Structure 1
Amino acid sequence: MKHVSLQVEKMSCGNCLSTVENALTQMNGVNRAKASLEDKKVEVEYDETKAEVYDLAEAVRKAGYIVL
């Protein structure tokens, strides 16, 4: 398993955290996603043979957030 931290803008409440985490955990290969309002980041644990960082960022973008 590989870990990555994505900087996510526009998260402002608990619902935002859930939306981002759900968008990621529904992806094939993602084992865990934990978002933080304080850091404006989401930590993702994923199988690099099934997903790439670009795919993770795209899922967050499609959920309505900005990935830096």
Structure 2
Amino acid sequence: MAKVTFNIPDISCGHCEQTIIKALQPLDGVRKVTVDIPSKQAEVDYDDTRITVERMKEVLTGADYPAISVQPGPRENSLSSRVAGRSCCGA
């Protein structure tokens, strides 16, 4: 499982949010789509063995919400996600 955040400057309202969710959610491999209107971002949890970030960008562009940048998130099985929130002393 992987996560990616798309920066989409054209997000402005709930209609935009619903359009983005309806465009991405049905794609094979997409698990969850969350849109944050104030930050103009869409976060997608997906199976990177079934869909690519490039494919999701194409779908967003086709829905008239092109992403201007992409921020990859940590993989669920990565070391950084397993130790998140822990300090160097284990507290």
State the TM-score bracket (shorter-chain normalisation): over 0.9
Structure 1 unaligned segments of length 5 or more: list them.
Answer: none
Higher-helix-fraction structure? 1
Higher relative contact order, structure no. (Cα contacts within 8 Å, ≥ 6 residues apart) = 1
SS of residue matched to 1:43: strand
% identity of equivalent residues: 31
Residues 1-20 of structure 1 mapped to structure 2, 5 A cutoff = 1-20=1-20
The TM-score normalised by the length of structure 2 is: 0.72
Bigger Rg, which one: 2
Structure 2 unaligned segments of length 5 or more: list them.
Answer: 69-91
| Amino acid paired to 1:59 | V
Q: Which runs of 4+ in 1 moved over 4 A?
A: none
Give the aligned length.
68
The TM-score normalised by the length of structure 1 is: 0.94
Residues 41-52 of structure 1 mapped to structure 2, 5 A cutoff = 41-52=41-52
Q: Pairwise CA RMSD of aligned residues? A: 0.7
